[in-house]
């Protein structure tokens, strides 16, 4: 079973709430399915939701897979078990990512996360979405 995870990467969000939601979602999937091997597939970077999901996967002894475009290599990357680079620009990797997963979890996220959810639904994949608000770090800025 491959669990895709999308959500906020660079935005500031309530990490404690996100971590709790990730744990609950992973628990529900692990208990619902009688599966020996579970892999978490996300966007490779060690930022935001992908980092939290990878950390939880490692804690559970699950495999980790990173699917991203070359731009992700400009950021700190999580030491995943398998790394797949597709294209140069954000979004180039979306179809490869979706082809690899059985279920998609979204925790907040921007335009690309929402778009990938729509594509996953069109492909008949199970999509579970959690709304998670972004928090402005600087009050004068609009998030």
Question: Please, what are the domains in the chain?
Answer: 2-130 (3.40.50.450)
pLDDT digits 0-9 by tens, 91-141? 999 999 999 999 999 998 889 999 999 999 999 999 999 987 765 544 444
> Global pTM?
0.88
Mean pLDDT (the chain) is 90
pLDDT > 60? residue 46: yes
Residues 77-89 have a mean pLDDT of 97
What would the 3-class secondary structure string for 35-95 be? CCCCEEEECCECCHHHHHHHHHHHHHCCEEEEEECHHHHHCCECCCCEEEECCCCCCCCHH
pLDDT > 80? residue 142: no
So what's the pLDDT on residue 139? Answer: 47
């Amino acid at each position: 079973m491959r669990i895709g995870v999308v959500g906020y990467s660079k935005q500031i969000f309530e990490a404690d709430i996100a971590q709790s939601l990730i744990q609950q979602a992973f628990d529900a999937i692990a208990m619902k399915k009688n599966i020996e091997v579970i892999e978490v597939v996300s966007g490779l970077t060690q930022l935001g939701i992908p980092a939290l999901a990878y950390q939880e996967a490692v804690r559970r002894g699950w495999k980790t897979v990173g699917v991203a475009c070359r731009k992700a290599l400009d950021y700190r990357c999580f030491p995943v078990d398998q790394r797949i680079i597709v294209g140069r620009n954000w979004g180039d990797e979306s179809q490869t990512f979706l082809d690899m997963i059985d279920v998609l979890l979204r925790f907040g996220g921007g335009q690309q996360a929402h778009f990938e959810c729509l594509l996953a639904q069109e492909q008949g994949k199970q999509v579970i979405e959690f709304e998670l608000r972004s928090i402005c770090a600087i009050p004068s800025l609009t998030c």
